[in-house]
Amino acid sequence: MARQTTKTGGTTRKPAAAKTATRKPQAARSSGRSSGGSSSTAGDAFINLLQSPLVADLLAVAATAALAALAEHGFNKSGSGRQRTSKAVKEAGKAAAGAIGRRLSNEFDEIKKASNAKSQGGAKA
């Protein structure tokens, strides 16, 4: 389209009409994985795991061990404040991890004992 010239020598343009964006509806994408017909998701499974009595017990054991380690370092006033705090937090973390490890080890041992007793009892019958 040729530009129109005016008497002043400038060009004039017609304002462009506003375009409306039209979007085509898209089909729902599939990730390629099937859920197997189950309505539960990984999030639901994780929430159920967090609500289990074993996890609550492990958290209680860890918190108790960490609190005991912090209390032990609180009564020992040697060293500067920042170093003492850092060391106390590290020791509390180690104590909590150790307590969880011992508790899980005990749980596994109990499960093994129960499994062995069940298999030996079933073999005798």
| Stated pTM of the model | 0.54
Average pLDDT in the chain: 77
Which sequence spans correspond to the domains of the chain?
Answer: 44-124
Q: Which residues in 84-106 are b (16+ Cβ under 10 Å) and which e?
A: eeeebeeebeebbeebbeebeee
Tell whether the model's pLDDT for residue 22 goes beyond 70: no
Report yes or no: 74 and 29 within 8 Å, Cβ to Cβ.
no
Q: Taking CA 119 as the corner, what is the angle to CA 116 and CA 120, rounded to the nearest 5 degrees?
A: 85
Is the pLDDT higher at 85 or at 68?
68
pLDDT tens-digit series, residues 79-98: 677 778 888 889 999 999 99
Please give the torsion angle defined by the CA atoms of residues 18, 21, 22 and 27, in that order, rounded to the nearest 10 degrees.
180
